[in-house]
Amino acid sequence: MNFDFSDDQRMLRDQAQKFLTDQSPPRVVRDVLEDSAKAYDEKLWGEMAALGWMGTAIPEEYGGAGLCPEDLCVLAEELGRSLAPTPFSSSVYLATEALLLAGSEDQKQKYLPDLAMGETIGCFALAEGVGVPTPKNISVTASNGALSGVKEPVADGDVANFVVVLARSGAADERGMSLYLVDLDGVDRESVETIDPTRSHARLTFNGTSAELLGAEGEGWDLVQKIIDRAAVYFAFEQVGGAQASLDMAVDYAKNRFAFGRPIGSYQAIKHKLADMYIATELARSNAYYGAWAITTGAPDVSVAAAAARVAASEAFNHAARENIQTHGGMGFTWEFDCHMYYRRAKILSLNLGGERRWKDRLISQLEARNAA
């Protein structure tokens, strides 16, 4: 038994950590936060592309490195730790994975080599405003190869070259849902403000926009479940990285901030708070590791593993980011301190694939299904 990353993977992690410490320090994240014209850090994206990160899990025949999902998880943790302001999650965990899962040979040939090089950015459009997207309420419709309707918020929809869209192609039920690929050139799109400006989001308005089926008609709902199961594990690693960074920041502050003549970290009120952040982060890390193993090997309980990783990681990062602010006291809620960048990212990451409440419900459904099997 070896329930840890391999020596090669740990070397990859060290390299990624060093690279991101240099190239994605808080100042770079803050630049994107404060400059409304900046959707992401293009220089950072270019350097990540030069390292071949976007092609990590893309097979070599499509121009990728042909590594396994575990390797991508290693990178995800470091991207989460550094809050790297790039469209990596949309393009790699969602659009690329959708193509690998459901793309025809032509579609793979067309998109994957450019995705692997970071020259094309993909995104994934599921949400239609406030509320839970379900087969009953999805209102973007497809007919005769054209889409109509509005998707919002779409992470990186304002900077991507193409989008994978869930739309209604038939009845308002699971079998009436299909996935489509849409070239975003010429699509009406508008940046929207979210709680985390370091990750750009957009409103996409389709108006008879020409679209190409991804996977078979009527398979869209099932495909989305598979796509978000895998993405949930990658997101979980970003969240674990973010939780660890929040904890590290809080611990550092608690050692150096003095009150009543001693470091605040020597008071149990603070010490125990930090211990709880550590525990939540470690439990999330362990669940995420299992998720990585499950998606890499195609384990039969992959849906349970993915949901557990997602729930644990959402809880951990939201908790750690919130209590990091509390540990910093008054400075914690200033614009000047970096605490809020983690707080924003924690919440947006836990919403992007569906909220904590819904993933908890999904986890129990998956456990019921496993139990019935």
Partner 1 sequence: MDFTDTPEDAEFRAEVRGWLTANAEEKKPGAIYKAKYGEAALIPLSQEWQTKKFKAGFSGITTPLEYGGRGGTQIQQAIYDQEEVNFLVPRHIGSGIPLVIPTLLVYAKEEDKKQFIPEILRSDKLWCQLFSEPSAGSDLGGIRTRSERDGDDWVINGQKIWTSNAQHADLAILVTRSDPDAEKHKGLTYFYVDMKSPGIEVRPIKQISGMANFNEVFLTDVRIPDSQRLGEEGEGWRVAITTLMNERVSSGARPAPDFEDIFGLARDLEIEDGPAIANAAVREKLAHWYIQARGVDLTRMRTLTAMSRGQTPGPENSISKLVSAFKRQEIALFGMDLMDMGGGLMSRETTPMRAVFQEAALEAPSGRIAAGTDEILRNIIGERVLGLPREVRVDKDKPFRDLPTGV
Q: Applying CB under 8 A, which residues contact partner 1?
A: 1-6, 70, 247, 251, 254-255, 262-263, 265-268, 270-272, 274-276, 278-279, 282-284, 286-287, 289-290, 292-293, 296, 308, 311-312, 315, 357, 359-361, 363-364, 367-368, 371
Do 243 and 127 touch, CB atoms closer than 8 A?
Answer: no
CB of 294 to partner 1, least distance (A): 10
CB of 17 to partner 1, least distance (A): 19
For partner 1, the closer CB: 49 or 283:
283
b/e string for 155-188 if b means 16 or more Cβ within 10 A?
bbbbbbbbbbbbbbbbeeebebbbbbbbebeebe
For partner 1, the closer CB: 229 or 315:
315
Do 10 and 73 touch, CB atoms closer than 8 A?
Answer: no
CB of 30 to partner 1, least distance (A): 26
For partner 1, the closer CB: 75 or 211:
75
For partner 1, the closer CB: 167 or 308:
308
Structure tokens at 115: 């995705």
H or E element at residue 255? helix 220-256
CB of 263 to partner 1, least distance (A): 5
Inter-helix orientation angle 220-256/339-352, to 10°: 160
For partner 1, the closer CB: 142 or 251:
251
For partner 1, the closer CB: 59 or 355:
355
b/e string for 310-322 if b means 16 or more Cβ within 10 A?
bbbbbbbbbbbbb
CB of 35 to partner 1, least distance (A): 35
For partner 1, the closer CB: 123 or 236:
236
CB of 354 to partner 1, least distance (A): 13
C-alpha 343: how far from its chain's center?
A: 15
Distances (CA, A) of 328 to 95, 270, 309: 38, 10, 28
Name beta bridge partners: 210: 146
Distances (CA, A) of 45 to 126, 191, 199, 280, 301: 24, 19, 13, 31, 34
- The alpha helices in 118-219, defined as continuous H runs, are none
Distances (CA, A) of 304 to 171, 229, 308, 370: 29, 9, 6, 8
For partner 1, the closer CB: 108 or 328:
328
Q: HSE-up of 89 (CA within 13 Å, CB side)?
A: 34
Closest to 238 (Cα-Cα) out of 29, 83, 70, 77: 77
CB of 192 to partner 1, least distance (A): 30
Do 86 and 140 touch, CB atoms closer than 8 A?
Answer: no
Do 172 and 135 touch, CB atoms closer than 8 A?
Answer: yes
For partner 1, the closer CB: 217 or 282:
282
For partner 1, the closer CB: 223 or 232:
232
CB of 273 to partner 1, least distance (A): 9
Q: Tell me whether strands 201-210 and 212-214 are parallel, antiparallel or unpaired.
A: unpaired
CB of 76 to partner 1, least distance (A): 15
Q: Given CA atoms 203, 209, 210, 212 in this order, what sign does their dihedral have?
A: positive
